Amino acid sequence: MDIIRLADIRGYGYVGALPEEQVLGQWFAVNVTLMLDLAAAGQSDRLEDTLNYCSVVETVQHLIQTSKFALLEKLASAIADALLQTHSAETPIHQVTIALTKLTPPIPHFSGQVTVEITRQPCDA
């Protein structure tokens, strides 16, 4: 199986358990790992034989910007589901891993980041 990785897709969104997070928003970063068969593209050198990763970035950014969930887990699942559903026709994705990071979580005395990582396959969707 082959892999396409997209790192550090950024978006400003409104996901969080605190009411302020739902109103003020914050920055998120997403790493996407897609497992799929790239043999046809490797032979043909044609864009139509591979996954359009520009549309993957657009899908991720759109979901970050428009979703209002309490949990990172829900947003990560929504991203995985959307990628598995919307991109299965062009080049089937066999597995997707989403690492969703809240860059500045509102946790007292904590200056780090929080990341949720999930892996899904089409049958999980």
Residues forming beta bridges with residue 93, ordered by sequence position:
36
Q: Among residues 102, 111, 115, 119, which one is catalytic?
A: 102
Where are the strands (E) in the chain, listed by range? 2-13, 26-36, 93-102, 114-120
Residues 6 or more apart whose CB falls under 8 angstroms from that of 118 comprise 73, 76, 77, 80, 97, 98
- Give the pairing type, strands 2-13 and 26-36: antiparallel
Q: DSSP state, 20? A: H
Q: One-letter amino acid identity for 15?
A: V
Q: For residue 102, indicate whether it is catalytic.
A: yes
Task: Tell me which residues are annotated as active site.
Answer: 102
